Amino acid sequence: MVRLLGRTAARQARGPRGPRGRRAPETTLGGRSLAAQVFVLQVVIVLLLVVAAVVALLLQVRHDSTQEARNRSLAVAQTFANSPGMVEALDSPDPTAVLQPRAEAARKAADVDFIVVLNTDGIRYTHPKPDRIGKKFVGTLQPALDGGVVVEEVDGTIGRLVQAVVPVKASDGQVVGLVSSGITTEHVGGNADRQLPLVLGSAALAMVLATASTALVSRRLQRQTHGLGPREMTRMYEHHDAVLHAVREGVIIVGADGDLLLANDEAQRLLGLPPDAERRQVLDLGLDRDTAQLLASGRMVTDEVHLVGERLLAINQRPTHLAGGPAGSVATLRDSTELRALSGRAEAARERLDMLYAAGVGIGTSLDVTRTAEELTALAVPRFADFATVDLFDAVLDGEEPQAQGALRRTAVGGIRKGAPLYAVGDRIRFVDSAPQARSLDTARAVLEARLSRAPGWRAQDLERTEQVVEFGIHSLITVPVRAGALILGVVSFWRSERPDPFDPDEVALAEELVARAAISIDNARRFTREHGMAVTLQRSLLPRTLPEQNALDIAYRYLPAQAGVGGDWFDVLPLSGARVALVVGDVVGHGLHAAATMGRLRTAVHNFSALDLSPEELLGLLDELVARIDQDEAGDRGNAAVSGATCLYAIYDPVSRRCTMARAGHPPPAVVHPDGRVEYADVPAGLPLGLGGLPFETVELELAEGSRLALYTDGLVEDRERDIDTGLELLRTALERSADGSPEETCQSVLDALLPARQGDDIALIVAHTRALGADRVAEWNVPLDPAAVGEVRSAALRQLAHWDLDELSFATELILSELVTNAIRYGSAPVRVRLLRDRTLICEVSDGSSTSPHLRYAAMTDEGGRGLFLVAQLTERWGTRYTPKGKVIWAEQPLP
């Protein structure tokens, strides 16, 4: 506007003017628009010529290519058909052997795609591709068989082509064969490739010339019109006065000598100028001294406020010569009287918007109902209220859907100072029907109590407490229901004490907006609490509640679910045959119900697989297949990539041999604490996580001294966002060394004290197992020769051992069991046969042999002479089964001790 007004001042100072005081515009030819039209027209003409030339060239080339292909194929076919020896070759026993070399040589010399010799039935004797010889020719043959010539265009196996078929005639004129020659149209011609660059080059040259000529014309027109076309210049002069007189700001132009050159209608109104003000000195117009001196000085100012009459005017002034005009100044005047009145309201609105923004950012940072309520009170105090309280139904705190009736629980309290006689956090409150909180819950609307001292309904809640509240200085109240959709979760109360003015309706609207934003976060936290509780319940129901009784290991464990969400970590202790015990620790990827359900499936699978007495690597292999199937099911249901995945460590400890066999699938290695306190991590090959497939798992066997300890854990113990796994493993080693002399329970607690993070982001499972050994006095073994007479000797030795153990009550059943198992091993098995008795929590009878054939329990018919032995074993024992070893199998049976 300064530039426009500067030009106006220049025109005011210059010569002749039009009827409205404007200088008449000079008539010129069109400016840029004319040059642009000329340029576009030239470009269109050049493009049309280029397109026409290219189309004509392509059509001519296509016609010439087709004609040349017809002539060449016909000439080659006729020449080869009339070549010497053609008739004799067709009559020879093997025409292909004679003609194929000649045809290929002629094809290459003539530069055609094929020369094919046919018999009168259309069967090929020659072809560039030998696998086509002996097959039917594709094309029209009858005119050639009649002695004529066939030239046609066909879509062959090598593309669009022109082929000619001519007859081969004997001396008597009889057609004894046919010759076909063909060439693809794309192999003929080439004129387009040679002529098209010339056409495009000519077009480019024409475009360059058109651009250059247009640029010259445009530059000359711009110099003549100063960059303005006639329409622009006319429009500028026509609207110049209208803009000045219609604008809502006052505009005055003062010359270098202090004369008023121009004042629009708004300036005359704001300054109260006389009708003849133009061409007079500014200092003589009757303005106040400060305003007149400012306008006459021409100095640069921005929003300088002056009192002119009863108005506050904001003046902006700039020199006109800075914009290329003559000396002088231009000033704009704006009436800011009403702005002062509105500034307070604008500031209040800004503060409210800032508060709402802070609410969107600062409320709901965690999925915890109580924490979200505390964030609301922290935001509201002291920016909006002096005290704020949040009361929620107990069902909301438990993650359930509440009923909008009954007592509430004071969840959060915030205030500018302590000692307010309000209900404390944790108090159960039942509001009377007349209380503002009860009315908000009933109507689902905010309630304003501007003067609490005059609110009998509020005072009826608790006469003594309300009197104390008033005496404390709290005098105004807004209650807003916490509403999420159709649910009423509770009520928020805002209290005022410091500022003397009560809450007003505008502040009620702000309170509703604050609570509405907090209600969404509270409801989200409530839903998360419910889902988290369901997931925790499901997870705990799937984890072992008590550990099974066994004598091989003294075990302590800890399981800590993540604070942010339930994960899929699990552990188990599984008694196996032969007094052995299996330890398993696993971790399912992810959190939530899906991870907990997947964990339950894997734990059940481990239970089932362990009942088969599988080795660790075999069990992990079956788990790997199971997880892969789960992934496939999930991908099929959701249409996306696999979502499952798990790690697992499986170890089997034998108290007789004190050997521990273990394998792992992507799981952290177990820690071994030796009796002397030394800690090392077992070198177990990591393997891939379950579900990825690929390489088989490897097993490592360790011999552990009695009193050693095994520490099995999940990655949540040693790794989190603030600590890498190497640091965690070193901390675990230190904690195990420090607690080496304590009990397994003390070791578990020591490890958690040292490694548990401040905010647990993942589940933690930890097992500490103290190894025991089954002494030699509790084990008896015998080698059995493959002789049926040896069964009696085994029975006698077993009875003597039972008498030594004071287990004579089990003699009869043991004698029957050993008789059956040893007899089966001698009859159906292979050497070596061994018998072992173990006295543990039960009496264990084991018979091993070198065969992998396993007996099966069946019901024998009345006429069968055998088949009842295993049935008797099953009836006399608590449980029995078969486990396979690298050298055969072991059939075992357990009897409860008396």
Residues 854-895: tens digit of each pLDDT: 776 665 444 444 456 677 787 888 888 888 888 899 999 999
Per mean pLDDT, which range of 124-138, 200-214, 607-621 is the poorest?
200-214
**pLDDT of residue 531 exceeding 90:** no
pLDDT of residue 264: 85
Tell me how far apart the alpha carbons of residues 318 and 306 are, in angstroms, rounded to a whole number. Answer: 17
**pLDDT of residue 711 exceeding 50:** yes
Residue that has been written with the tokens 């699938």 in this structure = 665
Q: With cut-offs at 50, 70 and 90, classify the pLDDT of residue 150.
A: confident
Mean pLDDT of the chain: 82
Tell me how far apart the alpha carbons of residues 254 and 853 are, in angstroms, rounded to a whole number. Answer: 118
**pLDDT of residue 20 exceeding 60:** no
Reduced to 3 states, what is the DSSP secondary structure of residue 394?
helix
pLDDT of residue 61: 65
Q: List all residues 6 or more positions away from 528 whose beta carbon is below 8 Å from its beta carbon.
A: 367, 399
Per mean pLDDT, which range of 32-36, 321-325, 549-553, 559-563 is the poorest?
32-36
Q: What angle do CA 578, 584, 587 make, to 5 degrees?
A: 165
Alpha helix stretches (DSSP H) within 180-273: 191-225, 230-246, 265-271
Q: Give the mean pLDDT of 688-703.
A: 88
Q: With cut-offs at 50, 70 and 90, classify the pLDDT of residue 97.
A: confident
Which of 98-112, 502-516, 697-711 shows the highest mean pLDDT?
A: 697-711
Per mean pLDDT, which range of 67-81, 619-633, 766-780 is the poorest?
67-81
% pLDDT > 90, the chain: 25
Reduced to 3 states, what is the DSSP secondary structure of residue 343?
helix
Residue that has been written with the tokens 């109360």 in this structure = 493
pLDDT of residue 18: 39
**pLDDT of residue 151 exceeding 90:** no
Q: Give the mean pLDDT of 236-261.
A: 78
In tens, the pLDDT along 535-568 reads 777 767 777 778 888 999 999 999 887 766 667 7
Q: Give the mean pLDDT of 143-148.
A: 83
* DSSP letters for 519-541: HHHHHHHHHHHHHHHHHHHHHHH
pLDDT of residue 864: 47
881 and 577 Cβ atoms separated by less than 8 Å: yes
pLDDT of residue 670: 95
Q: What angle do CA 682, 685, 690 make, to 5 degrees?
A: 120
Tell me how far apart the alpha carbons of residues 287 and 308 are, in angstroms, rounded to a whole number. Answer: 8
Q: Which residue has the higher pLDDT, 165 or 238?
A: 165
Residue that has been written with the tokens 């004799």 in this structure = 88
Q: Which of 735, 753, 613, 723 has its CA nearest to residue 673? A: 735
Q: Give the mean pLDDT of 284-300.
A: 85
pLDDT of residue 25: 40
pLDDT of residue 308: 80
In tens, the pLDDT along 399-451 reads 888 876 778 999 999 999 888 999 999 999 999 989 999 999 888 899 999 89
**pLDDT of residue 321 exceeding 70:** yes
Q: How far apart are the first and last CA of the chain?
A: 111
**pLDDT of residue 678 exceeding 90:** yes
In tens, the pLDDT along 825-852 reads 888 888 899 999 999 999 999 999 988 8
DSSP letter (8 states) at residue 578: G
Exposure of 63 in the CB half-sphere (CA atoms within 13 A): 5
**pLDDT of residue 335 exceeding 50:** yes
Which of 122-136, 261-275, 509-523 shows the highest mean pLDDT?
A: 509-523
Query: Residue 391: beta bridge partners?
Result: 410, 491
Q: With cut-offs at 50, 70 and 90, classify the pLDDT of residue 362.
A: confident
Q: With cut-offs at 50, 70 and 90, classify the pLDDT of residue 2.
A: very low
Q: Give the mean pLDDT of 56-84.
A: 77
pLDDT of residue 228: 60
Q: Which residue has the higher pLDDT, 355 or 443?
A: 443
304: exposed, middle or buried (Cβ count in 10 Å: 0-12, 13-18, 19+): middle
Tell me how far apart the alpha carbons of residues 251 and 5 are, in angstroms, rounded to a whole number. Answer: 9
Q: Which of 770, 769, 734 has its CA nearest to residue 754? A: 734
- The amino acid at 704: L
Q: Which residue has the higher pLDDT, 223 or 502?
A: 502
Long-range pairs, 432-440, Cβ under 8 A, ≥24: 432/460, 432/461, 434/458, 434/460, 434/461, 435/460, 435/461, 436/477, 436/479, 436/493, 437/391, 437/479, 437/491, 437/493, 439/479, 440/479, 440/480, 440/481, 440/491
237 and 26 Cβ atoms separated by less than 8 Å: no
pLDDT of residue 15: 39
Q: Which of 533, 537, 599, 604 has its CA nearest to residue 569? A: 599
Tell me how far apart the alpha carbons of residues 864 and 463 are, in angstroms, rounded to a whole number. Answer: 95
Tell me how far apart the alpha carbons of residues 246 and 173 are, in angstroms, rounded to a whole number. Answer: 107
Q: Which residue has the higher pLDDT, 344 or 830?
A: 830
- CA separation, residue 121 to residues 88, 138, 142, 632, 857 (Å): 18, 12, 10, 59, 77
The 10 Å CB-count burial string (b at 16+, else e) for 227-248 is ebbbeebeeebeebeeebeeee
814 and 798 Cβ atoms separated by less than 8 Å: yes
Residue that has been written with the tokens 């509201």 in this structure = 380
pLDDT of residue 120: 83
871 and 780 Cβ atoms separated by less than 8 Å: no
Tell me how far apart the alpha carbons of residues 219 and 631 are, in angstroms, rounded to a whole number. Answer: 72
DSSP letter (8 states) at residue 645: -
Q: With cut-offs at 50, 70 and 90, classify the pLDDT of residue 227.
A: low
**Beta strands 833-839 and 408-415, pairing class:** unpaired
**811-828 and 790-804 helices, crossing angle to 10°:** 150
